[in-house]
Structure 1
Amino acid sequence: MALELNGVPVDDTYCEAFDGIYSRFIITAKHRWLLKSAAYGATALPSTVFGESEGGIDRWLSPSETPDGRHGAIAQVWVQKSKKFMDVLTREMSKRIRQGVLVVPTTRVFNATDSETKFDAELNIGRCGDGYEWEEEMWGRKVIRVPIMFGEFIIERYIGYAEGVAGGNIWYFCDSEESALEAGELAVEALKEIDGVITSFGICSAGSKPETKYPEIGPTTNHYFCPTLKNKIPDSKVPDGVKSIPEIVINGINLDVLKKAMYVCMEVASKVDGVLRISSGNYDGKLGQHKIYLRDIIEEYS
């Protein structure tokens, strides 16, 4: 039976997703513009392909939702699940919080991961106080108060981490850049309403593939699906009439929330004029631990 949503064909395929380790934390600040600077700064560069970390904003919080009653945001940082993930996670959290959050005036950081497993933020972040930092209990949490030239930076001492699922994705085959941008923007906005997911690349314009002519630089362009190569290569997989193929890449704190997010991405885009087909990327099942079938998602959430 053919798949479709709101009259738009959906490929009967699957995406490959991966086990990952995430840390979910709250950033707060005195003013919204300071909060945005810190939240965007701490999560701006997705870079897991280099064995580092991937970040994104989960959702924005009102003052009534934060521990200290100020403007807030929940951010996520992800690393690959490996034997040495803890070393990578603590290093990457240190870099992103120290260079993205601590340097923005009035900011604070609190744990938002529902997990028994935690790391000690005093070791790689609190010690920015050069030994002059101290621990107190504030807002019902153990925090480290780090003296800085602007005043102080406060971070909860123990920040949680847990296992989630990364790399869920949806592709849109569109008749123009305009329809691709409209579909992508609607999807990214809709995901902001789902607690526990991030799309660290936003509207991703450059899907990659595992094989490459230049392994020293990492993954390269997925040439089979580049519209500008359609009439230049014999193995193009770009359908007629397709001018742009954006990808929405999603990480979720569990498989259920990831599947829900994938459905939402399909459903909102299927209502956009110019979206000719919806699909998902995979590598023949060779890389990811999870196969998430679009048919199963549609049957579960429609």
Structure 2
Amino acid sequence: MQINNVEIEDTFAEAFDIYVSKFLVTAATQKFAKIAADETVGFGSSVISCPAEAGIDAYIPPNETPDGRPGYVVMICHPKKDELEHQLIERIGQCILTSATTAVFDAMGDEADEKLRIGFKLKFFADGYDSEGNVGGRKIYKIPLMSGDFVIEEELGIKGGVAGGNFFVMAENQASALLGAEVAVDAIQGVPGTITPFPGGIVASGSKVGSLKYKFMHATTNEKFCPTLRGAEGIDCEIPEGIEGIYEIVIDGVSEDAIKEAMKAGINAAVKVPGVKRIYAGNYGGTLGAYQIWLTSLF
């Protein structure tokens, strides 16, 4: 099928189960809330080698937050529940508690499958000087700092989610592919409960599971989709003629439906960019995950 004269390949993105936490970081100003959120999601592109996948879901204005201050919803994702809890404690403790004027509140709400006592565990940083309180009906702990009190809700919700939703933006040159990827990420930012965890939301590298040559590598370059390897000996190139630039968008979300909505929004934006010729998706024949999201089924 085609949209805006761009070919949508009849293939699927292969996604897999993951645990997700979604929490709100507020601060005295939007600037400081964003600084804390950015620090928290750092080194969070892929659990292949990163300790978690992470990203910023949305900006929340002061009139919609528990403490009346600007904030950002952060999502942290991991295939293992205990590792997700570990990442929440480390990232909030090291990146938010240490940031000026911050507070942390649960953003999962009724979506949560269960609650983790992250605030309770972090209160021990106060060395016994912590106190309890209430903000907007939420039980919180106050941890005294040199700059004042750090506030964190007692429990943060987690739930089962989906990771690895993806599509490739294929274009006649690198510039067109990059612009297509950029507008796709911008569109996905408007879909609640989803993140694009790679730098700027865009995957420059691409990858395949494992290696053809090195047993110690968990993932290596996807040589079949590297334009500069077209025609190289021994490579079964899968890049159509006329394509010289490819970027991948990877999406994590709170549900399969959220992933589908994000993929559709991103693709609809990308196909409007001049020079974008095809939309493809990455999969491993069904061996990686339980979800097969067919591109053509999105429309």
TM-score (norm 2): 0.94
**Residue equivalent to 2:47:** 48
Structure 2 alignment gaps of length 5 or more: none
| Distance of 1:172 and 1:102 partners within structure 2 | 38
Report the Cα distance in structure 1 between the residues aligned to 2:113 and 2:241, rounded to whole angstroms.
51
Deviation at 1:147, TM superposition (A): 1.2
Compare 44-53 and 239-248 and name the one that shifted more: 44-53
Structure-2 residue corresponding to 1:109: 104
Amino acid at match of 1:49: I
Q: Please tell me the residue identity of whatever aligns with 1:119.
A: L
State whether structure 2 residue 252 is matched by structure 1 residue 251: yes
Cα RMSD after superposing both structures? 1.4
Partner of 1:230: 230
> Which residues of 2 match residues 59-70 of structure 1 at below 5 A?
59-70=58-69
The AA in structure 2 aligned to 1:194 is V
Which residue pairs with 1:183 in the alignment? 180
CA distance in 1, matches of 2:184, 2:167: 10
Identify the residue that residue 9 of structure 2 maps to in structure 1: 11
Secondary structure, in 3 states, of the residue corresponding to 1:55? strand
Distance in 1 between the 2:236 and 2:132 partners?
61
1:235-262 deviation per Cα after TM superposition (whole angstroms, max 9, x unaligned): 1212222222101101111111111111
Partner of 2:161: 164
Is the contact made by 1:90 and 1:124 (CA closer than 8 Å) also made in structure 2?
no
Counterparts of residues 101-180 of structure 1 (less than 5 Å): 101-113=96-108, 114-180=111-177
Of all paired residues, the percent bearing the same amino acid is 39
User: Structure 1: any 5+ residue segments left out of the alignment?
Assistant: none
- Structure-to-structure mapping, 1:64-103, within 5 angstroms: 64-80=63-79, 85-103=80-98
Q: Distance in 2 between matches of 1:37 and 1:266?
A: 29
4+ runs of 1 displaced by more than 4 Å?
Answer: none
Residues 91 and 124 in structure 1, CA contact (< 8 A), matched pair in contact too = no
Q: Secondary structure at the match of 2:179?
A: helix
Contact 1:224 1:236 in 2 (8 A): yes
Q: State the TM-score, normalizing by the size of structure 1.
A: 0.93
How far 1:290 moved relative to its partner? Answer: 0.6
